[in-house]
Amino acid sequence: MPDWSWIGSLLDFCAAYYTTQLVRCAAFSFLLLGLVMPLRKMLFSERTFLRGLLWSSFLIIPFLGKLKLFYENKAVVVITGRITHGTMTCLWADRIYMAGILIAAVCIFGKRLRLRKSIAGMEKVSLDHMQVRITDVNVTPFTVGLFAPRIVIPKVMLESYSREELRSVIQHERTHIRLGHLWFGLAWDVLRCLLWVNPFLTVCQKQFRADMEDICDRVCIQGSGRTAHEYGMVLLKTLKLLSSKSEGMPPAVTYAGEREFADMKRRMGEIAGFRPYHKRMCAGMAAAAALVIAALMLAVHTHSYVKCNKDENILVYEYADGESTVISNNDSSTQQMISYDDSYVYVDSEAFEYFCMKNNAAGDVFIVFGGFHKLPGFFCGGESCLYETGSDAGVVKIPYERQMSDWMAALLKIL
């Protein structure tokens, strides 16, 4: 009967490895939210595009868990050392964290799936050279889908709006698609799943979406050729027309419009203060933000551990009376006495036995070597062999069997 115990060991390793990183990322997300929220409220309260660009800084958060400073900076080690030790040793905590990610994903993306299922059966109508879905539920227009976006508008709006007003509604949803807001929404939801221990990512989702809506409104007003007053009147008509809320439709997971009067009031205030903007300047700001994010990503990559680090250490330990004692942990003299290839370990017997006698090694002597580490403390694929004293050969050749298959090693290296 095949031995499947390795699956549990692999899952436990992955849980500890990723929980250690994600808990660190969650800590950074608290700090970043504490910076972004005051900035958007005070310094950038009247800078719609800059407010939106602030949220792009969260793109680097999932990549901060392997920074070297968690092991090499004394102050950071003091602050985070206990947390790191806990995530590396408490498997129950790692399993709880992984379960939390799964539950969050089911809750968040389950809404997306239910929404897509409900949209699949809706009536299709061609508006402004685009096929849209019509719902009987009184909701504000919204768009769902990444590769094949579907715009949904309520039937009451289709029957009450003029062709020009419907064109404005469609334009607004198309702008969300063109600006990539649907992808931004997906990235935010993924971040909420991975860092579920930070509830403020969900609390601040309202502000995140509001900033995306404000950007879309500004782009639509300038691109439509209509005045801000005319654009605002369409929104007011929407609020009046859809004043009765529906409980039958799952909440839209992308940009489904504002559902509260207070939010619509805020949005109308932004529209009332509209001033034409320079497209080239905005494109330049977006390019500059992209360059900053790319530079930060490069800096993070440079100061992080790589996915797989070959372990050159050679460990010698003694096992006697049920206890193991480390004799040497990869000092220069050990590497001069011991070498290895894919099948054998080669030991200078005279030098090694003198070394063991000098360290009072009276029990079984084991040599541990090879393997790789993902992060300090996450060691994989090490090999070992037993050294038997009393050999007449100048160089003792010890065969060993590899403990990890090639495919398992390859899998762990890419995780």
φ/ψ of residue 253, rounded to 5: -95, -10
In the sheet where 372-375 sits, what is the strand order?
A: 309-310, 372-375, 378-380
Q: How many residues belong to the chain?
A: 415
- How far is it, in rounded angstroms, from Cα 369 to Cα 374? 16
Q: pLDDT in tens for each of the 415 residues of the chain?
A: 455 667 888 888 899 999 999 999 999 999 999 999 999 988 888 888 999 999 999 999 999 999 999 998 999 999 988 998 898 888 999 999 999 999 999 999 999 888 888 888 888 888 877 888 998 887 788 888 888 889 998 888 888 888 888 888 889 899 999 999 999 999 999 999 999 999 999 999 989 998 998 999 899 888 877 788 888 888 778 777 766 444 444 444 334 344 456 677 777 778 877 788 888 888 898 999 999 999 999 999 999 998 888 877 888 888 887 777 888 766 677 888 888 888 899 999 888 888 888 888 878 888 888 888 888 888 887 888 889 887 788 898 999 888 777 777 778 888 8
- How far is it, in rounded angstroms, from Cα 322 to Cα 147? 61
Question: What does the angle CA 218 – CA 221 – CA 225 come to, to the nearest 5 degrees?
Answer: 150
CB neighbour class for 339 (10 Å; exposed up to 12, middle 13-18, buried from 19): middle
pLDDT in tens, 322-360: 777 888 766 677 888 888 888 899 999 888 888 888 888
- Tokens coding 274: 């509209």
- How far is it, in rounded angstroms, from Cα 316 to Cα 328? 5
- How far is it, in rounded angstroms, from Cα 217 to Cα 172? 7
Give the count of beta carbons closer than 10 Å to the beta carbon of residue 208.
Answer: 20
Cβ–Cβ < 8 Å for 144, 112 = yes
Q: What pTM, to 2 d.p., does this model score?
A: 0.83
How distant is the alpha carbon of residue 107 from its chain centre? Answer: 17
